[in-house]
A and B are shown apart, each in its own frame.
Chain A
Amino acid sequence: MLIDRTQSRWALATALIGAAAVAVYLWDAPRHLNGPSGSTAVGITLGSCALAIMLFCAALSLKRRVPHWRIGKAKTWLRAHVWLGLLTVLLVGLHGAFKTGGTLTTLLWVLLGFVTLSGFAGILLQQFLPRLLLHSVPGETLYQQLGRQLENIRTLAEQVVIESAGSLEAPKTAAISADLEYTPPEPDAPEAGEPIARFYRDYLKPFLEGDPGSQLAQTDRAASLFMALRTMTPPRLHGAVDELASLCERRREFQRQRRMMIVLFAWLIVHVPASWALIVLAIVHAVVALRWKGI
């Protein structure tokens, strides 16, 4: 969700409700000899509001399971989730008079912290990562298709190598290097494609197999390696070299996409379980407080 001008009404409403809650708290605080707490009428009301908002926020994950149900647009739900969720932190603070209390309430504070911070992280990532994806991965594909696409690239690259070098097997000779001095064979000689086979053995294959340390994983280094390969091959094979370079670039793009998308959704690994744990413990806290402590 992009935080832009269209959020101003939600921000204003949240600020107003928050200010009202603070005003009520400040008005009520001096009336209690032991100071404000969660057991006062105002404290219980604020706590109940916070729990209700938490339940509403959790309902977003249920709403996502029935996206076509006529219960409000998903964008309204998300905005409410974010802004009311933010309000919860204030309401919980006012409810407990900003004290941690016992073990359960301390744990609730910790969980609320995790939920809020992970939510912030999610929102923050959504401000720039989609844009970054748009510009740095022009050939973006569906996340579920990435594995298949990487496999396709590997197959295509191997086909190019076989077509230009005759086989994927290379003779045991020195590796190709950008700095190596090399005398190319006659352009029409059968061994003219040999450098491509060696390049495949030394650089391309490990890269296609996902070796994180491969030199082809770095754009600049890959460019110089392909430049060197061009000098070692006759002009008739330059098309094949360019195609391999382009396939490597596509693979780097897909790998970039995978990394970005993992980051884009990583915050949910903390946010979702922490949220459910928070809700369960908040309900336990409410029941215990209301029933056994006789509030």
Chain B
Amino acid sequence: MAKAMPIATFSEGRVMSNEEIRAVDIFADVDERTLEKFPGTVRRRRFKAGDVICREGEGGTTAFYIIDGVVEVFIGRRVGAAASRPTGLLARIGAALGQRRIGKPTHPPDRLIPIDAGSADLRYGELATRLNAGEVFGEMSCLNLAPRSATVVAETDCEMIEILRNMYEALQRSKTFKERTDAKYRERALDNHLRNVPIFSSLPDNAIEELRDCAELVAFEAGTTIFNEGEEADAMYIVRLGQVRVGKAFPGGVRYLAYLTRGDFFGETGLLRNAPRNATCSAVDHPVIESGRKRRAARVELVRIGKEHFERVIRRFPDLVDRLERVAAQRVREQQRAALTILPTVQPREVEDLGLLQGQNLMLIDLEKCTRCDQCAQACASAHEDNISRIVREGPRYEKYLVPASCRMCMDPVCMIGCPVGSIRRTEDLNIFIEDWCVGCGVCAKQCPYSSIQLHPLEALGEEESERAKRYAETGEVVNVTERAIVCDQCTSLPTGPACVYACPHDAAVRVNARDFLEASGLFPSAEDAAK
């Protein structure tokens, strides 16, 4: 079960008067009427060195602007640890015989980890950074009610202002504030985001500078379309703030291929192939999980690189074309895979209610064959180095089949919406995967309609907090990350395929494309029958 996130209250510090607010440079353009309209929405906060400002995973509704001082931003997890050694005689024999288990993924230390700090990101190898005076953090929590993506601790004595959403939206319309935050973003984060795009990763510094200079910073209201499938491609984009949904129309409905988060890019295929857009991209709002309050849609901020600039760089660096081709080919492959599973227009009510056809790789257990021996769950645990089963042999039934709680590789993976650190992603073969820098906020688990994502204590996973987190934990100041989200990875890295199916002695467990399987079993009308 997903835990309830605590939400910090907006009651500490001192409410600033309009005169005091106006004295802060970023509010220079905010008119008097706005200040009067939202009284009490800005507080002055002072923190001593070592004070905790916010904690990763907890709910938050405010953004912070640093007036003076330095803060340390970190995720309290130790990531990329070496694979645990096999314990027990059989496990050692297995390891010696080359029997593989699924361990933690590894990433290069410079891999970008997005956090909710406008001008900074973390690196996989460090998971910590600093923010200085003039920088902002907590925008996503303020605007989209996203959980805090990282723990922020005052490194020196700090002075800050804490801002509620109404005022922050007014600030975003302020020219001074926008210029200030855009400049900070260009200065600290944009280079990294450009380098994060695989096709640009090996460009020389002057080319990155050129791209940085020509990049436009644009914003879209959540829910609006950035571009439609079939339109002429005029730019590529990088996500700066918020999330973008990529959908493609197929007969029978729209398939959502991905939810992109900060640092991800899209729209390059059309530019490269000089072809129309092959998918529709739209700005997505963060799910309102805790409060359920009605609120205005949030903004999604993007970096736009126009076609003419893109082509100019391409012309100067012809070897980019090969890389771009590879990326474009990968996207096309993803779309082709997606096209294999198309929602039919007619579905029996029960199938629709159970969301069975969402399952591109649905696990089913034939209850007439299953002797309830639980070998599937044991095999799942045994196949993973953390010894945790991703399957719970419980769930709804359809005819003689049990649909256990296990990832279905949904056609619309709504679990991906709202992850504050972008740790949940879809792999090329459409699997859902949760990276090990997950902060345990539980948004994905709450979003999953089929209870297929579980939160497990770090201890149970054999994982540890980082030294930094432990240091603050000793002072009792930080509620550290204590859990991590776990989802079925379909055992794609095992040559045997899903361990649950491989280990079922009664031939009862299957992993299937739900539609094909139900059609073949006669439990679902074929397309021809439905048409009749």
Contacts and interface: CB of A to CB of B under 8 A. Distances in A.
Interface in B354-376: 367-372, 374-375
A65 B375 CA distance: 9
B393 A73 contact: no
Interface string A55-81: 000000010111111100111011000
A63 to B, nearest CB: 9
A74 B99 contact: no
Contacts of B97: 69
B372 A2 contact: no
A106 B99 CA distance: 42
Contacts of A66: 90-91, 94, 99, 382
A138 B97 CA distance: 43
Contacts, number: 82
Given A67-B379, A68-B494, A70-B495, A130 B369 contact: yes
Contact of B367 (A62, A73, A77, A134): A134
Contacts of A68: 99, 101, 379, 382-383, 494, 496, 499, 502-503
A185 to B, nearest CB: 43
B375 A64 contact: yes
A1 B494 contact: no
Interface string B371-407: 1101100110011000000001110010010000000
A2 to B, nearest CB: 5
Contact of B503 (A1, A62, A67): A67
Interface on chain B toward A: helix, strand, loop, or mixed SS? loop
B505 interface: yes
A77 B101 CA distance: 21
A259 to B, nearest CB: 13
Interface in B479-532: 494-496, 499, 502-507
Contacts of B505: 1, 74-75, 77-78
Contacts of B392: 142
A59 B358 CA distance: 40
Interface string A132-161: 011000100111000000000000000000
A66 B93 CA distance: 11
A131 B503 CA distance: 21
A126 B383 CA distance: 27
Contacts of B374: 142
Contacts of A162: none
A130 B372 contact: yes
Contacts of A130: 367-372
Contacts of A134: 367-368, 400
A2 B94 CA distance: 31
Interface residues on B, range: 20 to 34
A264 B367 CA distance: 14
Contact of A126 (B90, B101, B379, B506): B506
Interface string A79-111: 000000000000000000000000000000000
B502 A74 contact: yes
B372 A143 contact: yes
Interface centre among A131, A134, A142 (most CB of B within 10 A): A134
A214 B471 CA distance: 59
A67 B288 CA distance: 41
Contacts of A264: 371-372
Contacts of B367: 130-131, 133-134
Contacts of A129: 371
A249 B371 CA distance: 23
Nearest to B500: A67
A183 interface: no
A70 B99 contact: yes
A77 B371 CA distance: 16
A138 B94 contact: no
A131 B392 CA distance: 20
A6 interface: yes
Given A67-B375, A67-B379, A126-B506, A2 B369 contact: yes
A158 B91 CA distance: 48
Nearest to A261: B372
Contacts of A73: 502
Contacts of B394: 141-142
Nearest to B392: A142
Interface centre among A69, A142, A261 (most CB of B within 10 A): A69
Contacts of A77: 505
Contacts of B397: 138
A72 to B, nearest CB: 9
Contacts of B90: 62, 65-66
Contacts of A143: 372
B463 to A, nearest CB: 21
A210 to B, nearest CB: 22
A68 B91 CA distance: 11
Nearest to A145: B394
Nearest to A144: B374
Interface in B84-120: 90-91, 94, 97, 99, 101
B368 A2 contact: yes
B401 to A, nearest CB: 10
Given A68-B101, A69-B94, A141-B394, A74 B375 contact: yes
Contacts of B370: 130
A74 B33 CA distance: 73
A62 B91 CA distance: 12
A264 to B, nearest CB: 6
B372 A67 contact: no
B382 A67 contact: yes
Nearest to A264: B371
A71 to B, nearest CB: 8
A41 to B, nearest CB: 36
A66 B503 CA distance: 9
The 6 A-B residue pairs with the shortest CB-CB distance in the complex, in nearest-first order: A67-B503, A67-B379, A68-B383, A78-B505, A74-B505, A134-B367
Given A2-B506, A129-B371, 10 more contacts: A2-B368, A6-B507, A67-B499, A68-B499, A68-B503, A69-B94, A70-B496, A75-B507, A126-B371, A130-B369
16 contacts: A1-B369, A1-B506, A1-B507, A2-B369, A2-B506, A66-B90, A66-B94, A67-B383, A68-B99, A69-B97, A74-B505, A75-B505, A77-B505, A130-B369, A131-B367, A134-B400
Interface of B: 90-91, 94, 97, 99, 101, 367-372, 374-375, 378-379, 382-383, 392-394, 397, 400, 494-496, 499, 502-507
